[in-house]
Amino acid sequence: MENEILLSKLAEKIRTCTLCPLYQGSTNAVPGEGPADAKLFFIGEGPGYYEDQSGRPFVGRAGKLLEETLSKIGLKREEVFIGNVVKHRPPENRDPLPNEIAACSGWLDQQLAIINPKVIVTLGRFSLAKFLGAEKISYVHGQARRVGNYIVLPMYHPAAALRNGSLMREFEQDFIKNKELLQSPEIDLKTEDPEDDSDQIKLFS
């Protein structure tokens, strides 16, 4: 309960953020949504038109694909936290700029600190860069890696999958391949006993 309150107080601050110029051209900030005790935290790039209009993340076509893909592995969007690297919409859906990402990163860090998810699923290259620096998404997608206390699972962005049929197949396969980890992130973390690697998820290093 306490974390829910902390998260909603944080969302209030995000809604009035003026740390970078993006707020000037946007209708609503999109702080993100999901349970304060979510085990999975999905991170996209930034709000698009529909997200800007509604103040909610991933409610357009990319969001529909994300929801459908989650349901293929038995998950509902309400069970996971969904956020973005930048909380205000970049004009014309352009890529967020380094200064915008830097200005916004403290919000994401605070959300992560409150929720403390087991698995962070990065959607696209901007959230990938936050955790895995210069790694190329085409090499690392679908492969879980431990980063500090988190398991980071890089995925293609659903909007990229919508634009490119072969990425669509990879996007779906990456979810299916990681079904166990996504369904039971807690169990996978508990198999860390170095004496027992029987159930250990394959993390690349």
Q: Which residues bind ligand URA (CB under 6 A)?
A: 30, 44-48, 51, 57-58, 62-63, 84, 159
133 CB-near residues (< 8 Å, 6+ apart): none
Q: Which is nearer to ligand URA, 56 or 177 (CB)?
A: 56
Residues near 5 by Cβ (< 8 Å), separated by ≥ 6? none
Q: Between residues 58 and 81, which has the closer beta carbon with respect to ligand URA?
A: 58
Least distance to ligand URA from the beta carbon of 140, Å?
A: 18
Residue (20 or 201) nearer to ligand URA, CB: 20
CB of 118 to ligand URA, least distance (A): 22
Q: In angstroms, give the least distance from the CB of 173 to ligand URA.
A: 21
Question: What whole-number distance in Å separates Cα of residue 94 and Cα of residue 187?
Answer: 39
Q: How far apart are CA 14 and CA 30, in angstroms?
A: 8
Q: Quick one: 51 or 100, whose CB is closer to ligand URA?
A: 51
Rounded CA separation 33/149 (Å): 22
Distance of alpha carbon 133 from alpha carbon 44, whole angstroms: 16
Q: How far is the CB of 58 from ligand URA (least distance, A)?
A: 4
